[in-house]
Amino acid sequence: MIRIIKADGTAEREQIASMRSRAAEVGADIERAVGAVMQDVREKGFSAVEKYSLQFDRKAPYEIGMETLEEAYARCTGGLISAMEHAAANIRDYNEALLATSREWISPDGGIVGRVVRGLTRVGLYVPGGTAAYPSSVLMNAIPAKVAGVKELIMVTPPTENLNDAVLAAAKIAGVDRVIAVGGAQAVAALAYGAGFIPKVDKLVGPGNAYVAAAKRMAYGTLDIDMVAGPSEVLVIADESADPKYVAADLLSQAEHDRLASSVLLTTSQELATRVDAEIIRQTSYLGRSEIIAASLRDFGCAIVCRDLKQAAELANEVAPEHLEIVTEDPRSLLPDIQNAGAVFLGAWSPEPLGDYLAGPDHVLPTSGTARFFSPLSVDSFLKTMSVVEFSRETLAPIREEIVTMAEAEHLTAHANSIRVRFV
């Protein structure tokens, strides 16, 4: 079911190029449609949001009360609530360990310098409706924001006929402050510009369809966003010690996301590649999303046989995958060679779904090669910093002429004067 490619300097790079083509630019028709919505909401406010909500979702936006979250929580099974509470505790613990703190120190010139860390004031969380409603994403987006000290976290979700109980329960567990039933590009615009009872936010996070993604791109600058995520992907580096059954299962776990998902095996063993292919065929036969899996693996799945693990690491860095599994005899020894990945999973007992749900680190990760410069969502994503400077006359005096000299070199005489007047 997957192609097996021998790395020769050309074949593997054609495959990498094919993977990157999945993140093609949004079509002009989507850009135009979203641009019209954004402008309309910016100019007309809530009336425009209401118009588009009625047009696309057949319901006007409304606030979902906290009692509705409580009722949804009560309807969920005890097993699901227990699992979500466990996940929430791990996510909270992980982000609390990462939380940056304010600090000050004495500079070499004797003044006080430092940095003040603050949580953002208000954050929006977009949660898709329908079949794309994932409670785990609510936990992964909301809990780091609350750990950061975000004062108000507002979740928006399309006003579907039957709101997802697990999603609403996850919002309760995560401590979401408000939930508003509004979706699509109009929801993004409302949070970017403010519209009626929907307030303007400082940052918007969370996944969405192509229209939501386009709206987030257009809103960036008016507010901050997490990232514009592309199709899901996993890359597994494995040697002859790997169990083909486990490797196949992990490749399949990403292939089931959608037809554009990418699942790639980099291995030093031709035999392992062949056995993984056989396992993929066997396991796909009893999985529920077999048609999606088949399309994903046909178009964007492969096994690349590398000459050694060093070449595998080099290719992995070039791909910069969202998820990278290292399933080798000594997985940690390869970690220093990995520069670009959203999340790294070490060893046969650290499969990618562990990170999706329960380990603690976030599953909101850079895709389509953007792990070269983007980082996973975390508590850091919801913090801002302010620098602090405090000098006295005694500590400013010895360096005043250097400041004046630099200011005058830039022809900024008022800057120089600001220093001089203090010592006349």
Residues linked to residue 117 through DSSP beta bridges, in sequence order: 385
Contact 316, 324 (CB under 8 A): yes
Active site residue 322: yes
Contact 16, 194 (CB under 8 A): no
Q: Is 411 annotated as a binding residue?
A: no
Residue in 50, 233, 279, 322 annotated catalytic: 322
String of DSSP letters for 98-138: H----EEEE-TTS-EEEEEEEE-SEEEEE---GGG--HHHH
Q: Is 232 annotated as a binding residue?
A: yes
3-state secondary structure of 29: helix
Q: Is 257 annotated as a binding residue?
A: yes
Q: Is 415 annotated as a binding residue?
A: yes
Q: What is the C-alpha separation between 368 and 375, in angstroms, rounded? A: 13
Active site residue 86: no
Order of strands, sheet of 152-157, starting from the edge strand that comes earlier in the sequence = 62-64, 178-181, 152-157, 122-126, 203-205, 224-225
Q: Is 186 annotated as a binding residue?
A: yes
String of DSSP letters for 279-337: HHHHHHTT-TTHHHHHHHHHHHEEEEE-SSHHHHHHHHHHH--SEEEEESSSHHHHGGG
Q: Is 339 annotated as a binding residue?
A: no
Residue in 233, 279, 323, 352 annotated catalytic: 323
Q: Is 126 annotated as a binding residue?
A: yes
Please list the active-site residues: 322-323
Query: Binding site: what residues are annotated?
Result: 126, 186, 209, 232, 254, 257, 323, 356, 410, 415
Query: Binding site for NAD(+): what residues are annotated?
Result: 126, 186, 209
Query: Binding site for substrate: what residues are annotated?
Result: 232, 254, 257, 323, 356, 410, 415
Query: Binding site for Zn(2+): what residues are annotated?
Result: 254, 257, 356, 415
